[in-house]
Amino acid sequence: MLNVPNGLTLLRIFLVPLLVVVLLTRMPAKEYLALGVFLVAALTDLLDGWIARRWKKVTTLGMLLDPIADKILVSAALISLVDLQEADAWAVCIIVGREFAVTGLRSIAISQGIPIAASRLGKWKMAAQIIGISLMILGARLDDIGLWRKTGRAALWVMTAMALISGFDYFRRYLPPLLAKEADPSPKAAE
């Protein structure tokens, strides 16, 4: 069912190709336009969840699409920043790999009847990613003394650490119940 929160999530997904095109195209002041597109997409992430909870419009489609939209946005932005040499490929591989691993964990968990909601660490990780990607986009433009670029690189380290910590936390909390359920698939094991 398409409602306002789900529409905002789809908008975030549709903004991703625009972000990549703007970042990777040569045009004057492209970084400011890219930053605007990225922040609008990030704002839809805040709004869709708030509206869904406030207006009681939480749907299965929304619970599925929202984390996927986040991962597409962050992954596309970071991969583009690697191409622009504003982000280190090794760090982006860790961050994107964590996103795939947690998505896989969520998929397995939901198939076993164990929903995994976004954790506080996961939300902090997303906030760090929004700030860090924004700093790296600006670093590509405002590099007169290198401060923006250095700040963006420092933010990438924080993003990488947050990705590892929050990913570890998800697996620490949800892998044992999944393994226990797999070892004993009877309905009683779910209790």
pLDDT tens for the chain, 191 residues: list them: 678 988 999 999 999 999 999 999 988 889 999 999 999 999 999 898 889 888 888 877 887 888 899 999 999 999 999 999 999 999 999 999 999 999 899 888 888 888 887 788 888 999 999 999 999 998 877 766 678 888 889 999 999 999 999 999 999 999 999 998 888 766 654 45
The CATH number that domain 4-179 falls under is 1.20.120
Q: Which residues of 136-169 are buried (b: 16+ CB within 10 A; e: fewer)?
A: bbbbbebeeeeebbebbbebbeebbebbeebbeb
Under a CB-based contact definition with an 8 Å cutoff, are residues 155 and 128 in contact? yes
- Cβ atoms of 133 and 38 within 8 Å: the answer is yes
| Cα–Cα distance, 167 to 101 (Å, whole number) | 8
